[in-house]
Amino acid sequence: MTVTKRIVVLPGDGIGPEVVDAAVGVLHAVVSGFGHRFEYETRPIGGAAVRQSGTSLPQSTLDACRSADAVFLGAVGDPALDGAPRQQSPEYALLTLRKALGVFANLRPAKLWPGLENAGPLKASRVAGTDLCFVRELTGGLYFGEPRHLDMEAGEAVNTLRYSREEITRVADVAFRLARQRRCVVTSVDKANVLETSRLWRAVVAEVATGFPGVRLEHMYVDACAMALTLDPRRFDVVLTENLFGDILSDEAGAVVGSLGLLPSASLGKGPGLYEPVHGSAPTLAGKDVANPIGAILSVAMMLGQGFGLMNEAHAIEAAVGLALERGARTRDLVDRDDDPHLTCSSMARYVADVIMSATPARSA
Ligand code: IPM
Ligand code: MN
């Protein structure tokens, strides 16, 4: 069966446009092979939107996202706008979009791809076989809690960490359902020895767990989890945590599996999903065609699988990424020294697309 889908594409800032182009090329290869029809609508967000229209999330961008089947975003963030008022903050645009789409569950898989055992800073013997997935709460916690304010003159600032039973229940439910399709373990990460929100978190997660008798639940403090991620990353299956902890731990997981540039994400709620690589805008790499497009490419695979239920298509992309990496295809972030042989962002994407179309792939050296 073939499908027709409308995808809103938000290239954004820094390396966002490059990795988005790369991933859309791969998406095109798989989609045309399977006979689907995807329509793409590109809209501005972040610093790029500020330069066009003065605001980081134009109403027309938000409206387009709301009525799309899925939203694919590159990255937001622009050093020129650091400390800008909210209407012009690239990060604020992304947070507003997440909230408007109601995408409360952020899935961030991190796995060690065969061939990349030595790409990262940790010993291969520790990281080989790592295969975990964060379920990060995405529309609550410190990122959104009110009141919040900054008074530079008075030298005082406030943020609020607030969670409700409903917010915890719905994201925990996603984590347990996911665990059932994986190795049936949920590690819930909190700071219940200090924070009241974490004590509520722990109690509600334990309640949700009773509905999933086949899944084992363990609780872990966030500081211990940060260490365990480097000492024994294979012990984790699904890692369920609140917004800020998930933000921090998922970057750490990038280093564990070789590069942050490899990590994809899917943000899910009731409406259209939001798919984006975990890496940011990396302004120093922008425009040089050196970024790693794999995080973005795997994000479109999640769009196909999680978003549209097109499992064969999603697997085709994942298998092609796996084969490319096994055959030694590397971007600059995956080699030891900058002058070791490596592919550009666009040529890595072509390599993956070629594998999908079973053409003869380009060589990495
Ligand atoms: C991420 C990013 C965002 C976050 C920023 C850009 C607002 O770091 O998706 O991990 O903190 O959630
Ligand atoms: Mn982050």
Is 331 within 8 Å of 293 (Cβ atoms)? yes
pLDDT tens per residue across all 365 residues of the chain: 899 999 999 999 999 999 999 999 999 999 988 999 999 999 999 999 999 999 999 999 999 999 999 999 999 999 999 989 999 999 999 999 999 999 999 999 999 999 999 999 999 999 999 999 999 999 999 999 999 999 999 999 999 999 999 999 999 999 999 999 999 999 999 999 999 999 999 999 999 999 999 999 999 999 999 999 999 999 999 999 999 999 999 999 999 999 999 999 999 999 999 999 999 999 999 999 999 999 999 999 999 999 999 999 999 999 999 999 999 999 999 999 989 999 999 999 999 999 998 743 343 43
Taking CA atoms only, the protein residue closest to ligand 1 atom 4 is 247
Q: Which ligand is nearest to the CA of 91?
A: 1
Taking CA atoms only, the protein residue closest to ligand 1 atom 3 is 91
Residue at token pair 């940060």:
226
223 counts as catalytic? yes
191 counts as catalytic? yes
Question: To test the ligand 1 pocket, which listed residue (76, 95, 260) has its Cβ within 8 A of the most ligand atoms?
Answer: 95
With helix as H, strand as E and coil as C, how does 292-312 read?
A: CCHHHHHHHHHHHHHHCCCHH
Q: Is the pTM of this model over 0.85?
A: yes
270 Cβ contact partners less than 8 Å away, ≥ 6 residues apart: 102
Decide: 280 in ligand 1 pocket, CB within 6 A: yes
336 counts as catalytic? no
Decide: 91 in ligand 1 pocket, CB within 6 A: yes
Which pair of tokens denotes residue 221?
Answer: 């403090």
Residue count (the chain)? 365
